[in-house]
Amino acid sequence: MPSLTPARGAVAALALTALLAAAGCASTPAAETGEPADDATRSVEHARGTAEVPEAPQRVVVLEPVQLDTAVALGVTPVGAAVLSDAAGIPAYLGEAAAGIESVGTVMEPSVEAIAALEPDLIIGTESRHAALFDQLETIAPTVYMATQTDPWQQNVALVAEALGDAEGADRLLADYEARCAKIAEQFDTAGSTAQLVRPRDGILTLYGPDSFAGSALECAGFTTPERAWEDISLDVSPENVLDASADLVLVTTTDVDDPATLPRVIADNAAAFPELHLVDQSFWITGVGPLGGMTVLDDLERLLAG
């Protein structure tokens, strides 16, 4: 074989250097390129300790309304979610995202088998409801637990966002919500007025307090919830004590806001005690916990106040 001339040797050396450089780039660790590796994880502190969760989870299963709402609001459509009831299914207010989410049982009784079948890479649940399932769920995928669904929902939004790797996104969503509240309070001069959400069920009336999702939305919009002996986030009153639900603005939940017959007779018969009375959709006033549900509640409240 003829020997290389100096010029040809230089060209060959350059070619070999370029080839080695290309090979080196191809094998550069993901951390050095700014792209997360498929197996990259983050540590998340939660109700059960610390979980190592995927840097960018792709197949998320959630077991609580606030977890579902927050994930969708952050642009992460869970592959599965527990629902409040099989009849209600995935909340319609979530829009098109709802169509791609499979039910994995109810919030109170999630199906471990249904969760496993979806092959999730992250599961988010709640200690107060799902404590007995934690060990099983952790064998399926990294699992993060909120302490309780009754915590201020904004705190739970922050934990869910952290688990999903988008804490800043949660901050933006909550800031937008607070700004919308302030706008409604100013536009309709709600300061000094009282408001009460009432949920009829099982022959009683459940009044929701200022620490509940709906109650906190009314307070955020400038209203004050009447002082009562709250039992955690709500208080049950019997029909004969219906006047205990009185306020300047009273909202009664229903599954059909267009059907006046869904207003409890005991409230209708005492209409004079409720000068500003409206039926509202329980699918988001009660179960729409989260940034999207919060904005939907504020949309509805603004509509009622403007009307």
Average pLDDT, the chain: 89
Answer yes or no: is pLDDT of 1 > 80.
no
Report the CATH number of the 41-165 domain: 3.40.50.1980
d(CA 26, CA 24): 5
Q: Do domains 41-165 and 173-306 have the same CATH topology?
A: yes
Q: Give tens-digit pLDDT for 85-127.
A: 888 899 999 999 989 899 999 999 999 999 999 999 999 999 9
CATH number 3.40.50.1980 is the correct assignment for the domain at 173-306: yes
Domain regions of the chain by residue span = 41-165, 173-306
Q: Residue 253 has what pLDDT?
A: 97
State the pLDDT at residue 122.
98
State mean pLDDT over 4-29: 39
Position 37 scores a pLDDT of 55
pLDDT band for position 307 (cuts 50, 70, 90): confident
- The CA-atom distances, in angstroms, between 217 and each of 207, 230, 262 are 14, 17, 23
- Is residue 18 scored above 70 in pLDDT? no
Say whether pLDDT at 17 is over 70: no
Task: Provide, rounded to the nearest whole percent, the portion of the chain with pLDDT above 90.
Answer: 79
Strand ranges across the sheet with 204-208 = 234-237, 204-208, 195-201, 249-254, 277-281
- The residues with which 206 forms a beta bridge, in sequence order, are 199, 236
Q: What is the mean pLDDT of residues 132-157?
A: 94
CB 243, CB 273: distance < 8 Å? yes
pLDDT of res. 151 = 72
pLDDT tens by residue, 218-231: 999 999 999 999 98
Residue 298 has pLDDT above 90, yes or no: yes
The rounded Cα 141 to chain-centroid distance in angstroms is 20
